[in-house]
Amino acid sequence: MQALSSTRREFLKTSTIAAASLPFVGALSSCARAEEPGRKLGFALAGLGSLSTYQIAPALQKTKSCKLAGIVTGTPAKAEHWKAQYGIPEKNIYSYNTMEKMADNPDIDVVYVVTPNALHAEHTIKAAKAGKHVLCEKPMEVSTEKCQQMIDACKKAGGQLAVGYRLHFEPNNLECVRLAREKVFGNLKLIQADFGFRIGDPNQWRLDHALSGGGPLMDVGIYALQATRYLSGAEPVCVSAITTVTDPAKFKDLEESVAWQMKFPGGILASCTSTYNFNDMDRYKVFAENGWFELEPAYLYDGIRGRRSDGGQIHFPSIDQFAAQMDDFAQCILNNQPTKVPGEEGLRDVRIMMAIYEAARTGMNVKIG
Amino acid sequence: MQALSSTRREFLKTSTIAAASLPFVGALSSCARAEEPGRKLGFALAGLGSLSTYQIAPALQKTKSCKLAGIVTGTPAKAEHWKAQYGIPEKNIYSYNTMEKMADNPDIDVVYVVTPNALHAEHTIKAAKAGKHVLCEKPMEVSTEKCQQMIDACKKAGGQLAVGYRLHFEPNNLECVRLAREKVFGNLKLIQADFGFRIGDPNQWRLDHALSGGGPLMDVGIYALQATRYLSGAEPVCVSAITTVTDPAKFKDLEESVAWQMKFPGGILASCTSTYNFNDMDRYKVFAENGWFELEPAYLYDGIRGRRSDGGQIHFPSIDQFAAQMDDFAQCILNNQPTKVPGEEGLRDVRIMMAIYEAARTGMNVKIG
């Protein structure tokens, strides 16, 4: 797996606030039980690229209910490095061809799939068949069919499947969900949501359609899409879209920028954009009948903050979102409760993103059933 | 003509800065000649609603090259009031049925048409036939056919026709045009432009499709559309759109909100929204390859200001935009030079707005030839 560009790494900065000081994790968790004595669940990271290296492995050190127990990688040099750095025993190191053998390894409870998008189904299904719970990075996969296969495999195996929607555990985003749901500014009218960045290395897998399944929409536009859904609490019924390319040498078979619009039940409108070709676009703004609220930045690993039309600030302290999500998933597993970001949630986004691509390709609005 | 709601009046506040202190008017004018000794051109206002009362008539007092010489109104009580307030002689007061008689009145050089949208052609053509130059409020008309008739009538009569695009004379907007044209932040990639407000009185002509030709798109969305065109310096080639209504009692036969997207030559993308159902949406942001710049508010009568990604502020003092535009038009006429906001410019916007409505109605992207 190709490492992420430094541009992207710098763009999505790591939170430096320790998990121990997180006042929100417990309160925000959908499943957490304070009384749970519980052992720590063993996580195996499948895919040791930039996200695992700089975000997830450090985050695991901050969790209360999880530990880094194993790795899955196709690169022996990476295995050696991680083994040394994190003291991972040899028996907990797998390749993508040996993942099935995890079935015999009680150290590993959860596989966190962090491989390129188009490999998520293969690795999720292998983990499920080995009897493991799966936390899969977003986008869930590159087609609705593969998403469904992942859901079916985990269900059949009896394990849980969660998608890496870290903002469902982020206090500023949760505050905006509260403002929307409690109609603090009245009924919602329009949601604008925009997320993009300028991608670096032209040879990375994100620019290879076979591995990514699409461009910025699949990678970061999905956050804007997610925002419209968790803010409205509803599902879009119709989408229109336009994609553009200004640098065809770099963007050969995927979009460089995309703008899409969605109509929600009751007439709520959403207008969204995403890009791989410029920085500093990271926000959402919700207009309601009596006022508005916004986050900018809205989707980063830390520094998220916002404003309200009544002069109020939205500025909860940053937390380690990955740690919060992993702890929540562990508690869901330990307490046999459903995650709030299940595979079905990932499937819904992929279905909508496919509709967005269809709308852009055909020039026709696409109804979403 | 129905007076505008107080909501709208308060929303679009009057500039209080005197024209005498405007350092930009001369420099910004497309036609102004500092050496022009010239007489003041006589303006007749056709339509004495809120815009004429609270903006244009006061602005005329601040102009260097114009004076309020006459009025056209269908309401005798208004005529009496204006006659007294501005000392307008009886012979310079017309109704819409007597406008033709202006042909014999040398006091009047220009008719400023400020009537409801769907009456612009009728009143412009009457003024042109009377040998007058015409400044017509935006939107130019409610169909491309009527726009073309206005252009043809003025051309045939030998008079100039300008459209009330006041922001072409506003220094903060002109600075953004400079940033775009000189590629200070590189080639443009995406323009987001949004303008809307919550409309008041449900009985006003703006909510009557027969008089308005459409909803917020025609009234204020046109500013966002204009911005994408004067910032890019290009014409959109394709548009997609979605309109919504959440209050069908108020918005019977026109949109309440609209989101539309446009593709420009070279792949520049535009994403725009407009509404009649909430306040505080008044901005544009231009993303280019090496940075961004934005105005918020972008379209008001005063208080326009903005920021640049390099930390720079965009904050030229407010001017009376109506005075600036009328002075510029007067200089164009006196110097026999073309206005930079001619009828053809108004026609282009109406053509694009009709394409936006077609895209929303049919659910299909519309190519603009």
Summarised one tens digit per residue, pLDDT across range B201-236 is 999 999 999 999 999 999 999 999 999 999 999 999
Q: Per-residue pLDDT for B303 more than 70? A: yes
Interface of B with A (CB under 8 A): 187, 189-190, 192, 194, 238, 240-242, 244-246, 256-257, 259-263, 266-273, 275, 277-278, 280-281, 287-289, 291-292, 309, 359, 363-365
Q: Distance between CA atoms of B8 and A369, rounded to whole angstroms?
A: 39
Nearest to A257 among B269, B272, B275 (CB): B269
Q: What is the mean pLDDT of residues B92-104?
A: 97
Nearest residue of chain B to residue A190 (CA atoms): B257
| Cβ separation B278–A190 shorter than 8 A | yes
pTM to 2 decimal places: 0.90
Nearest residue of chain B to residue A199 (CA atoms): B289
Token pair, residue A109, equals 């409870």
CA distance A62 to chain B (A): 35
Q: How confident is the model at residue B37 (pLDDT cuts 50, 70, 90)?
A: low
Nearest residue of chain A to residue B265 (CA atoms): A246
| Cβ separation B192–A194 shorter than 8 A | yes
- Supply the ipTM of this predicted assembly: 0.88
Q: What is the mean pLDDT of residues B137-158?
A: 98
pLDDT at A39: 85
Extended strands (E) in chain A = 41-46, 66-72, 93-94, 110-113, 133-136, 161-163, 188-196, 238-244, 257-263, 269-275, 281-288, 291-295, 306-308, 313-314, 366-367
pLDDT at A61: 98
CA distance B163 to chain A (A): 29
pLDDT at B51: 97
Alpha-carbon dihedral of residues A53, A59, A61, A66, nearest 10 degrees? -110
Q: Per-residue pLDDT for A259 more than 90? A: yes
Nearest to B275 among A190, A194, A291 (CB): A190
Q: What is the mean pLDDT of residues A307-314?
A: 98
| Cβ separation A267–B278 shorter than 8 A | no
| Cβ separation B244–A194 shorter than 8 A | no
| Cβ separation B363–A364 shorter than 8 A | yes
Q: What is the mean pLDDT of residues B296-311?
A: 97
Is residue B89 a contact partner of residue B113, using CB atoms and an 8 Å limit? no
Backbone conformation region of residue A73, classed left if phi is above 0, alpha if psi is from -120 to 50, else beta: beta
Buried (b) or exposed (e) across B26-46, using 16+ Cβ within 10 A? eebbebbeeeeeeebbbbbbb
Summarised one tens digit per residue, pLDDT across range A176-202 is 999 999 999 999 999 999 999 999 999
- The domains found in chain B, sorted by start residue, are 6-166+323-343 (3.40.50.720), 168-317+349-367 (3.30.360.10)
Q: What is the mean pLDDT of residues B295-300?
A: 98
Residues of A taking part in catalysis: 138, 223
pLDDT at B369: 82
Q: Which amino acid is at B269?
A: L
Residue A77, exposed/middle/buried by CB under 10 A (0-12, 13-18, 19+)?
exposed
Nearest to A257 among B189, B246, B364 (CB): B189
Task: Name the active-site residue from B223, B284, B299, B357.
Answer: B223
Summarised one tens digit per residue, pLDDT across range B174-188 is 999 999 999 999 999
Is residue A242 a contact partner of residue A258, using CB atoms and an 8 Å limit? yes
| Cβ separation B192–A189 shorter than 8 A | no
pLDDT at A37: 55
Q: How confident is the model at residue A18 (pLDDT cuts 50, 70, 90)?
A: very low
CA distance A80 to chain B (A): 40
Q: Per-residue pLDDT for A25 more than 80? A: no
Residue B91 falls in the annotated catalytic set? no
Q: What does each C-alpha distance from B158 to A123, B129, B131 come to in angstroms?
A: 75, 10, 8
Average per-residue pLDDT for chain B: 91
